[in-house]
A and B are shown apart, each in its own frame.
Chain A
Amino acid sequence: EAGVAQSPRYKIIEKRQSVAFWCNPISGHATLYWYQQILGQGPKLLIQFQNNGVVDDSQLPKDRFSAERLKGVDSTLKIQPAKLEDSAVYLCASSPGTGTRYEQYFGPGTRLTVT
Chain B
Amino acid sequence: ILNVEQSPQSLHVQEGDSTNFTCSFPSSNFYALHWYRWETAKSPEALFVMTLNGDEKKKGRISATLNTKEGYSYLYIKGSQPEDSATYLCAFGGGSQGNLIFGKGTKLSVKP
Give A residues with C-beta under 8 Å from B.
3-4, 33, 35, 40-45, 48, 56, 91, 93, 98-109
Contact = CB atoms under 8 A, between A and B. Distances in A.
Nearest to A108: B43
- Is the contact region of chain A dominated by helix, strand, or loop, or is it mixed? loop
A101 to B, nearest CB: 5
Interface residues of B, number: 28
Nearest to B51: A101
- Is the contact region of chain B dominated by helix, strand, or loop, or is it mixed? loop
B44 A106 contact: yes
A30 to B, nearest CB: 14
Interface of B: 4, 31-32, 34, 36, 41-46, 49, 51, 89, 91, 93-105
B100 A45 contact: yes
A106 B104 contact: no
B43 A106 contact: yes
B4 A42 contact: yes
B42 A108 contact: yes
